[in-house]
Amino acid sequence: MTEANTAIAHLIEVMARLRHPETGCPWDQVQDFPTIAPYTIEEAYEVEDAIAHGSPATLLDELGDLLFQVVYHARMAEERGWFAFDDVAGAIAAKMVRRHPHVFGTDDARTADQQVTAWEVQKASERAARAETGTLAGIPPGLPALTRAVKMTRRVARVGFEWPDAASVLDKLEEEAAELRAELNRHGDDVDPAAMRDEVGDLLFVLANLARKLDLDPEDCLRGANRKFERRFGFIEQSLLLEGKTPADSSLAEMDALWAEAKRHERAGD
């Protein structure tokens, strides 16, 4: 047995002991798929954050946490007689071999773009085999909304339902923004929450499309904007602290001025 196999076997054993109905951990004993699923999603985001920060040690730790989630779900499935971790590993290995015949079979070599196209063809075939019909079949509803919007519009674009270019998407964005403004002007402060949700949703959906047309990931764009906001507002707080103040003690004009200063520092590379 290789060192990697030994480590995996030990991890599976640790999970089994945590779930043992008599000697295991009380918290782990009572968990099920729905209660663990949020942790699985959270760990995936923490892996992304470790990558964004470029910390190998943190990435090592977070990948371990994510792997533990797979082992956790596999253990719960094994307890129900569905499948075990080895089945999970075997299934994904077989899928990767099946989807890469240019590596594991006799197909001609492919460029990265050709592989993306072939991958989608293969996935469509697998969906058909599972009797999942319709262009949008198989796109998980639990995905982050922006990511799901991109996946849906990418899928329909393959059958011709697509804007011709990014400029036309931007025109649609302006149209949706005008509709939102008109709704606000019509009702003032007495807006209909359902109508607002609908209009803002349309705006976000078009923005996700614009990112896709520009070969950008809207989730990544928004994460970057969040980090930028966090960094700039942190500058505001630190600057005010030097004056013995907090944002609550300050005017909007003061904070706007410090925001502009934070932007100047960033452009200057401070």
Q: To which H or E segment does residue 131 belong? A: none
> Does the pLDDT at position 188 exceed 80?
no
Domain extent, residue 252, equals: 221-268
Q: Are residues 197 and 156 in the same domain?
A: yes
Question: Nearest Cα to 77, choosing from 37, 47, 124, 50?
Answer: 37
Q: pTM for this one? A: 0.67
Pairwise pLDDT comparison (257 vs 53), residue with the higher score: 257
Q: pLDDT per residue over 51-96, tens digit each? A: 988 999 999 999 999 999 999 999 999 999 999 999 999 999 999 9
- Answer whether residue 125 is part of any domain: no
Q: Are residues 84 and 8 in the same domain?
A: yes
Q: How far apart are the first and last CA of the chain?
A: 53
C-alpha 110 chain-centroid distance:
27
How crowded is residue 208: how many other Cβ atoms within 10 Å of its Cβ? 26
- Answer whether residue 237 is part of any domain: yes
Q: What percent of the chain has pLDDT over 70?
A: 99
Tokens of 39: 């942790």
Mean pLDDT of 157-182: 94
Taking CA atoms, 261 is separated from 37, 170, 218, 239, 266, in Å, by: 42, 30, 27, 10, 9
User: Which one of 69-78, 113-122, 128-137 scores highest in mean pLDDT?
Assistant: 69-78
Contacts of 203 (CB under 8 A, 6+ apart): 173, 176, 177, 180
Q: Are residues 55 and 73 in the same domain?
A: yes
Q: Look at the chain and report how many structural domains it folds into.
A: 3
The Cα 233–Cα 51 span in angstroms is 23
- Answer whether residue 110 is part of any domain: no
Q: Are residues 33 and 51 in the same domain?
A: yes
The Cα 103–Cα 96 span in angstroms is 10
Q: Which of residues 72, 99, 126 is at a domain's end?
A: 99
